[in-house]
Chain A
Amino acid sequence: MTVYKGRPGVVLTEIAGEYVLVAAKALKGECPYVMQLNETSAFLWRQLGSGMSLEQLGEAVAEEYEIDDPAAAREAIVDFIRQMVDLHYLVTEELPS
């Protein structure tokens, strides 16, 4: 099973009501220094702190936003994760099923 985790050195902050990912200096040149997130993306990022699979993320989003079908949220979650992995904010980890 693949789980996703925020990279060490990347910190989610809230500034004037806006969510912002900030990467520490050690990650300079590897991922962007700053990226603004919307509320849903910030919620997803917080869930990732504990290491979650796509299925688990879908369930967490469905519960938080009262979506009946977790699969419906899956496409947006996949897009978010793909973007975060491409930007090297996220790392993946393979766990035994």
Chain B
Amino acid sequence: MYAGHALRYSFHDVNTRWEFRSLARRSSAETWDIRATKEQLERTRAVLPEDSRDAFVEFRALIGLTSRELLKYDCCIFHGVSFVWKGAAFLLTAPSGVGKSTQFFNWQRLFPGEIAMICGDMPVLERREDGSVWAHPSPWNGKERLGDRRLCGPVAGIVLLEQGSENSISPLSPHDAITPFFGQFLVRPETEEEIRALARLMDQTLRNVPLYKLVNLGDDASTALLRETLSPLAEGGSP
């Protein structure tokens, strides 16, 4: 289930099901929404470590296919750490290796029990009719496998991370966010309909959710700065 939508998969490898953990249910249905092609599996294998298991390769190949299917429901998988703080969801996004998880772990260590992970790597974002954007869990929750399938929430802030030689945080305009954010939505649309669905989700996200850029050292001070900036948003106020 993703944001309340059930998708049916057909797997090449019987063990792929276990990669989905508790989010998957066995089905006797003979039709499916998503099945990777052999070519897609090979393309995915080419970018993963050589010793990757077949089930893991298939699991990774299904990310983009799942995102495409979810576009039908105004949802898409997004690359970022998502967590809940005081009932609101926040996203930290950046290319891999920039320090998204570091910020989360710093926060947990400095302020124990304050935040909880929705999904450690690739949450599902959902565009709602009331103008909000919600973050939901997905099975792709990073190498630490951090996430809680029971958690979700309205997104109250998104922070684009960059490594730097000092810590600073500033509002990010939609103009400056569009190009990097396109790369963080884990889908490459194949049709005009899919492009327009992704654009609607991005439009609502960039219009209605406060955006920030955190240039940081990944140290405790940068996490304190992040927390201080997001605090009014968690309280339901304006930045």
Q: In the complex, are the beta carbons of B178 and A15 less than 8 A apart? A: yes
Size range of the chain B interface in the assembly = 10 to 19
Bitwise, B12-32 to A at CB < 8 A (1) or not (0) is: 000000000000000000000
Q: Closest A-chain residue to B202, C-beta based? A: A15
Number of A-B residue pairs, CB cutoff 8 Å, is 54
Given the contacts A11-B196, A13-B196, A25-B188, A34 and B179 also touching, CB distance less than 8 Å: yes
Residues of chain A with a CB closer than 8 A to B190's CB: 24-26
For chain A, the count of residues having a C-beta within 8 Å of the partner chain is 17
A16 within 8 A of B: yes
A17 to B178, CA, bound (A): 11
Residues 182-214 (chain B) with a chain A CB within 8 angstroms: 182, 188-192, 194-196, 198-199, 202-203, 206-207
A24 to B194, CA, bound (A): 9
A36 within 8 A of B: yes
Q: Closest B-chain residue to A21, C-beta based? A: B195
B103 to chain A, nearest CB (A): 25
B150 within 8 A of A: no
B87 within 8 A of A: no
Residues 1-45 (chain A) with a chain B CB within 8 angstroms: 9, 11, 13-18, 20, 22, 24-26, 28, 33-34, 36
Residues of chain B with a CB closer than 8 A to A15's CB: 174, 178, 199, 202-203, 206
B160 to chain A, nearest CB (A): 15
B192 to chain A, nearest CB (A): 5
Q: In the complex, are the beta carbons of B207 and A16 less than 8 A apart? A: yes
Q: In the complex, are the beta carbons of A16 and B203 less than 8 A apart? A: yes
B197 to chain A, nearest CB (A): 10
Residues 24-78 (chain A) with a chain B CB within 8 angstroms: 24-26, 28, 33-34, 36
B residues bordering A, Cβ < 8 Å? 174-175, 178-179, 182, 188-192, 194-196, 198-199, 202-203, 206-207
A residues bordering B, Cβ < 8 Å? 9, 11, 13-18, 20, 22, 24-26, 28, 33-34, 36
